Amino acid sequence: MMKVGLLGAGRIGGVHAAAITAHPRSALAAVSDFFPENAEKLASAYGSVARSTEDIIADPEIDAVLIATSTDTHSELMEAATAAGKAVLCEKPVDLSLERARACQANVAKTGQSVMVGFNRRFDPSFRALKEALEAGEIGKSELLSITSFDPAPPPVEYIKVSGGLFRDMMIHDFDMANFLMGDTPVRVSAVGSSLVDPAIGAEGDVDTAAVTMTYADGRIAVIRNSRRAAFGYDQRVELLGSTGMLQAENMLENTVVKSTAAGVTGAKPMHFFLERYMPAYRAEWDAFVTAVEDGTAFPVTLDDGVAALAMAEAATRSHQIGAPVDLSEV
């Protein structure tokens, strides 16, 4: 039974607390948070205890830590936890600063430990089935990837201010999905973005609507579209054209009811947001972590993956700023 310390008792921390508890081979040993009362509340809901982050990392009884704190603490906590010999699962993004993330990567490497990064979408059953079909050769060689990722509604501007911007905060998932499916990182990134959804987001210098085109060394192309608002819910689709066919992962719907009236034929909306849509993915991600630690095998998503996605976000941010493509080798 793996004893797990959960660092961070926010919304995503709650998701992980449930997954850790439900897993037959892991237990939620302790919870910490910047606001101790949050840690208390989450811990008691799952029959666990609240402790300080330092305590948890120092406790030799704790086997693993899950880092779900604010992004600016990720690097430091990964370094401390791996130095303490813990198995670590860290939420994305690894950092807002590519430089800091690379330093963290080096520091973690010195500990001889490795870190799994929480790109949960890789564990979504549909994206996984798409990847398996691709690897089974069902559409031949991949050529043109398109990722659509629209949130149901923009976050508060207070969040935007500390988010690092759309490319680092939101599209980071799509950069990783591209790496996952294309099996390579791009050589060049070209981004455009606008503030069409909420002028307050534009006032902060950020965008809420964006399109990024990426090209690969072998000529393949990927397009990512993001919007902070889709009135109909959480739109999460992938489409991959290959030499002998196309694979699409469509949205998961709230239910399967279809209503036909004089007004048309209406089905359910996509599941509202990431907690509902990716709940099976969060569970599968945690199982993959536990299994890899138990078996001593490599993590399926590594710190290198986290840094690679961050570099693409950095390139996209710069491309948007200068209005020209940016080579990934430049960032």
Q: By CB under 8 A, what part of segment 75-114 binds a copy of itself?
A: none
Taking contact as CB under 8 A, which single stretch among the options 53-61, 74-82, 87-95, 137-145 is the one that binds a copy of itself? 137-145
Residue ranges in 204-243 that form contacts with a copy of itself under rule CB under 8 A: 209-211, 213, 215, 219-221, 223, 225, 227, 229-233, 235, 241-243
Residue 199 lies near a copy of itself (rule: CB under 8 A): no
CA–CA separation, 286 and 50 (whole Å) = 21
Place of tokens 């509902």: 276
- Classified as helix, coil or strand, 302 is strand
Helix (H) or strand (E) holding 201: helix 199-203
| CB nearer a copy of itself, residue 3 or residue 237 | 237
Taking contact as CB under 8 A, which single stretch among the options 84-92, 135-143, 172-180, 284-292 is the one that binds a copy of itself? 135-143
Residue from 52, 73, 114, 146 touching a copy of itself (CB under 8 A): that is 146
Residue ranges in 168-197 that form contacts with a copy of itself under rule CB under 8 A: 188, 190, 192-197
Residue 291 lies near a copy of itself (rule: CB under 8 A): no
Taking contact as CB under 8 A, which single stretch among the options 68-76, 132-140, 160-168, 170-178 is the one that binds a copy of itself? 132-140
Query: 292 is written with which tokens?
Result: 């890899």
Residue 310: CB atoms within 10 A of its CB come to 28
Residue ranges in 258-277 that form contacts with a copy of itself under rule CB under 8 A: 258-270
Which candidate, 92, 91, 71, 88, places its Cα nearest to that of 79? 88
210-247 residues labelled b (16+ CB within 10 A) or e (exposed): bebbbbbeeebebbbbbbbebeebbbbbbbbbbeeeeb
Residue ranges in 312-331 that form contacts with a copy of itself under rule CB under 8 A: 323-325
